[in-house]
């Protein structure tokens, strides 16, 4: 009706007016097109035209690194989500220096920097920050067994911080309150490096963020928190300052949405607030699930193990470690199913549905056997099996890096006990910078293998007890070995872990 009325109005105008109006409208349209053509594209338009979001970050445990399923890490997963949100690809450029990183973003050499950057007044003079996505607390570390300081005024020894960090800014601000306070700044360090140095007694004190401590405290148990410095601080992405808000506004919207829908909290909980490997409670839970979950899957596990040529108890332990025998399990990286297969691995193995228990179990067993067969033929069991388990968790590329490190240090790269000692070094910058595949959470495959061995022992013990009960019910005598092992259940105790408060995104 509005269009018809407009047409009637137009036809009702005097003839001499209509051409003038038509000419005026044409001029306005031409002018608008001319202005549109001459206007430079916004940053968001240019980004979408290029098809690539360029971000600066650091290779490390709380930022991004190469995992067994490809790139991962807290910052990487946030960035990949943002790139997907924009409908573009993600390119990460590495920069180890925090000062250089800030300058590069300010100069427009990348769209943003995402490296666990703390929002500070000094940095805010050079760049602008997105909404916060995580709060962390600065913590002063000391070495367990030495005198624990209560304040900065009680420090007796060397304090080391990362050059250009928010920790250095904080100390500078506190200098007036503590005039005798001294510290040393060093570039190209990660907070995990500082934790190791305190653990080994190479420095007396260091400052780290609470998320870094929480992620790595189990690796360096002698590096302990003496006290927190100040209130929790905000982590955010850094963007160049300017009047073009197109990309910055999209980042604001994206971070707000993932906070509201709970996906940000889920990511923080999975990466930073995960429980420690096999505690006493974890072992007790496992024995409970042997009774109420394993019977549902035992026949399938045994069938697949026989088909592929594996020990069924080992495969059962692997599947529990992967998914707790939950066929609907899904991780933050998208791996899923009883054996937590990646989409790529499933495709290579011809698996159509990763959450189908039969397909998942068979796919995981075949993938493990493939890794087992890829190892040099000179490696024999049990080392061959243990190394293949580590590769299942961390990836064959990172396992090869660990074997190279083992050989460099005079160990035997074909023996698990030697490689096991060197896998955690993949998390330390001084080592992973010399290797082909960079950072890895090298302690995880060590826990992974040891957990599986422990689970397998518990399964074997329970299986033996079940056979014993059946034998007694049938009036059959036990063999001497069964009599000796009757009461030798696996030790389900584990040392208590230091309690650490979960991180907050509020």
Lowest mean pLDDT among 88-97, 147-156, 313-322, 464-473: 464-473
Which of 18-32, 117-131, 492-506 is predicted least confidently? Answer: 492-506
What is the rounded CA–CA span in Å between residue 225 and residue 327?
Answer: 39
pLDDT at 26: 62
Is 482 considered catalytic here? no
pLDDT at residue 190, rounded to an integer: 86
Instruction: Render pLDDT for 33-66 as a digit per residue (tens, 0 to 9).
Output: 555 556 789 999 999 999 999 999 988 878 888 7
The CATH number of the structural domain formed by 280-484 is: 1.10.530.10
The answer for residues whose C-beta is within 8 angstroms of residue 306's C-beta and 6 or more apart is 312
Quick one: average pLDDT of 81-93?
Answer: 96
Of 196, 322, 420, 444, which one is the catalytic site residue? 322
pLDDT: which is higher, 273 or 28 = 273
Q: Would you state the torsion angle of the CA atoms of residues 137, 142, 144, 149, taken in this order, to the nearest 10 degrees?
A: -100
- Helix (H) / strand (E) containing 301: helix 294-308
Cis ω for the linkage preceding 382 (within 30 of 0):
yes
Mean pLDDT value across the chain: 85
Give CATH superfamily name and number for 45-132+239-268. Periplasmic binding protein-like II (3.40.190.10)
Q: Over range 87-103, report the average pLDDT.
A: 94
Taking CA atoms, 226 is separated from 155, 369, 461, in Å, by: 11, 47, 43
Per-residue pLDDT band at 5 (split at 50, 70, 90): very low
468 confidence band (pLDDT: 50, 70, 90): low
Listed by start position, the domains of the chain span: 45-132+239-268, 134-230, 280-484
316 has pLDDT over 90: yes
pLDDT number for residue 75: 95
Of the candidates 426, 493, 459, 413, which has an alpha carbon nearest to the alpha carbon of residue 318? 459
Closest residue by Cα to residue 269 from 506, 504, 59: 504
pLDDT above 80 for 354: yes
User: How would residue 480 be classed by pLDDT, with cut points 50, 70 and 90?
Assistant: very low
Predicted local confidence at residue 31, as pLDDT:
58
Q: What is the pLDDT of residue 62?
A: 82
Cβ atoms of 15 and 22 within 8 Å: the answer is no
pLDDT of residue 189: 86
- How far apart are alpha carbons 72 and 78 in whole angstroms? 10
pLDDT value, residue 2: 42
**Residue 68 · residue 442 · CB < 8 Å:** no
- pLDDT-derived band of residue 416, with 50, 70 and 90 as boundaries? very high
The position carrying tokens 């006290």 is 227
pLDDT band at 271 (very low <50, low <70, confident <90, very high): confident
Q: What are phi and psi of 299, to 5 degrees?
A: -65, -45
- Domain 134-230 in the same topology as domain 45-132+239-268: yes
- Residue 202, class by beta-carbon neighbours within 10 Å (0-12 exposed, 13-18 middle, 19+ buried)? middle
Q: Are strands 52-57 and 112-113 parallel, antiparallel or unpaired?
A: parallel
Given a contact cutoff of 8 angstroms between Cβ atoms, the answer to whether 56 and 105 are in contact is yes
Q: Indicate if the pLDDT at residue 367 is higher than 70.
A: yes
Average of per-residue pLDDT across 460-484: 64
As a whole number, mean pLDDT of residues 468-483 equals 60
pLDDT of amino acid 274: 58
Measure the CA–CA gap between 83 and 276, rounded to whole angstroms. Answer: 32
Percent of the chain clearing pLDDT 90 (strictly above): 58
Residue 164: left if φ>0, alpha if ψ -120 to 50, beta else—which one? left
Instruction: Please state, in angstroms and rounded to a whole number, the distance separating the CA atoms of residues 87 and 170.
Output: 39
Enumerate residues 6+ apart whose C-beta is below 8 A from 127: 102, 105, 106, 113, 238, 239, 240, 241
Percentage of the chain with pLDDT > 70? Answer: 82
pLDDT at 465 over 90: no
DSSP 328-350: T-B-TTS-BTTTTB-HHHHHHHT
342 vs 332: CA distance, rounded Å: 11
Work out the pLDDT band at 27, boundaries 50, 70, 90: low
Q: What is the β-pairing status of strands 65-67 and 70-72?
A: antiparallel
- The CA distance from 206 to 223, in Å, is 9
Report whether pLDDT(379) > 80: yes
Segment 294-305 shows an average pLDDT of 95
Mean pLDDT over 174-203 rounds to: 91
* Mean pLDDT, range 390-410, rounded to an integer: 96
71 pLDDT tier (thresholds 50, 70, 90) = confident
- Residue count of the chain: 506
Find out whether 117 and 167 touch, Cβ atoms under 8 Å. no
pLDDT tops 80 at residue 18: no
Superfamily in which the 134-230 domain is placed by CATH: Periplasmic binding protein-like II (3.40.190.10)
What 3-state DSSP class applies to 187?
A: coil
- Residues 218-226 have a mean pLDDT of 86
Round to whole Å and give the CA distance between 163 and 144.
25
Q: Which two tokens stand for residue 222?
A: 């002698």
The reported pLDDT for the residue numbered 3 is 39
pLDDT at 409: 95
Contact 290, 489 (CB under 8 A): no
Residue 36 CB neighbours (<10 A): 8
3-state secondary structure of 481: helix
| Token pair of 502 as six digits | 């979960």
Supply the pLDDT for residue 495.
42
Q: What is the pLDDT of residue 488?
A: 46
Q: Which residues pair with 138 in a beta bridge?
A: 209, 229
Residue 100 reports pLDDT greater than 50: yes
pLDDT of residue 415: 93
Which residue blocks in 437-498 are alpha helix, DSSP H? 443-474, 480-484
Residue 8 — pLDDT band, cuts 50, 70, 90?
A: very low
**What is the reported pLDDT for 344?**
87
- Does this model's pTM top 0.85? no
pLDDT at 83 over 60: yes
Q: What is the pLDDT of residues 445-461, one digit of tens each?
A: 999 999 999 888 888 87
State how far the Cα of 10 lies from the Cα of 407, in Å rounded to an integer.
88
């Amino acid at each position: 009706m509005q269009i018809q009325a407009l047409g009637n109005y137009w036809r009702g105008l005097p003839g001499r007016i209509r051409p003038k109006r038509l000419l005026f409208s044409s001029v306005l349209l031409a002018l608008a097109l001319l202005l549109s053509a001459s206007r430079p594209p916004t940053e968001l338009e240019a980004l979408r035209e290029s098809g690539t979001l360029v971000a600066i970050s650091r290779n490390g445990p709380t930022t991004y690194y190469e995992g067994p399923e490809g790139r991962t890490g807290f910052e990487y997963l946030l960035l990949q989500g943002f790139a997907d949100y924009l409908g573009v690809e993600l390119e990460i450029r590495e920069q180890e220096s925090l000062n250089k990183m800030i300058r590069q973003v300010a100069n427009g050499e990348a769209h943003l920097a995402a490296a666990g950057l703390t929002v500070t007044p000094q940095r805010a003079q050079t760049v602008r920050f997105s909404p916060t996505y995580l709060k962390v607390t600065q913590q002063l570390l000391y070495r367990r067994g030495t005198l624990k300081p209560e304040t900065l005024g009680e420090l007796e020894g060397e304090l080391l911080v990362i050059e250009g960090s928010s920790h250095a800014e904080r100390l500078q601000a506190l200098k007036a309150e503590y005039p005798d306070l001294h510290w040393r700044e060093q570039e190209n360090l990660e907070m995990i490096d500082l934790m190791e140095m305190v653990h080994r007694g190479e420095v007396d004190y260091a400052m780290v963020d609470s998320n870094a401590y929480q992620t790595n405290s189990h690796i360096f148990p002698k590096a302990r928190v003496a006290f927190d410095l100040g209130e929790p601080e905000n982590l955010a992405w850094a963007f160049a300052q300017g009047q073009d808000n197109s990309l910055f506004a999209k980042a604001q919207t994206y971070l707000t949405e993932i906070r509201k829908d709970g996906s940000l909290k889920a990511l923080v909980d999975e990466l930073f607030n995960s429980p420690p490997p096999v505690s006493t409670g974890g072992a007790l839970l496992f024995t409970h699930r042997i009774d109420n979950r394993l019977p549902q899957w035992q026949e399938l596990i045994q069938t697949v193990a026989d088909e592929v040529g594996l020990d069924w108890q080992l495969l059962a332990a692997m599947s529990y470690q992967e998914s707790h025998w939950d066929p609907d399990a899904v991780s933050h990286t998208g791996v899923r199913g009883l054996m937590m297969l990646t989409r790529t691995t499933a495709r290579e193995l011809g698996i159509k549905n990763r959450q189908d228990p039969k397909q998942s179990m068979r796919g995981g067993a075949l993938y493990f056997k493939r890794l087992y067969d890829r190892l040099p033929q000179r490696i024999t069991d049990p080392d061959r099996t243990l190394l293949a388990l580590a590769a299942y968790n961390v990836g064959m590329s990172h396992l090869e890096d660990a074997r190279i490190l083992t050989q460099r240090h005079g160990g035997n790269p074909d023996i698990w006990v030697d490689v096991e000692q060197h896998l955690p070094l993949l998390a330390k910058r001084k080592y992973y910078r010399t290797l082909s595949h960079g950072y890895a959470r090298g302690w995880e495959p060590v826990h992974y293998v040891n957990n599986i061995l422990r689970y397998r022992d518990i399964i074997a013990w329970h299986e033996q007890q079940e056979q014993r009960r059946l034998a007694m019910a049938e009036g059959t005598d036990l063999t001497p070995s069964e009599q000796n092992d009757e009461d030798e259940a696996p030790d389900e105790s584990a040392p208590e872990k230091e309690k650490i408060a979960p991180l907050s995104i509020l």
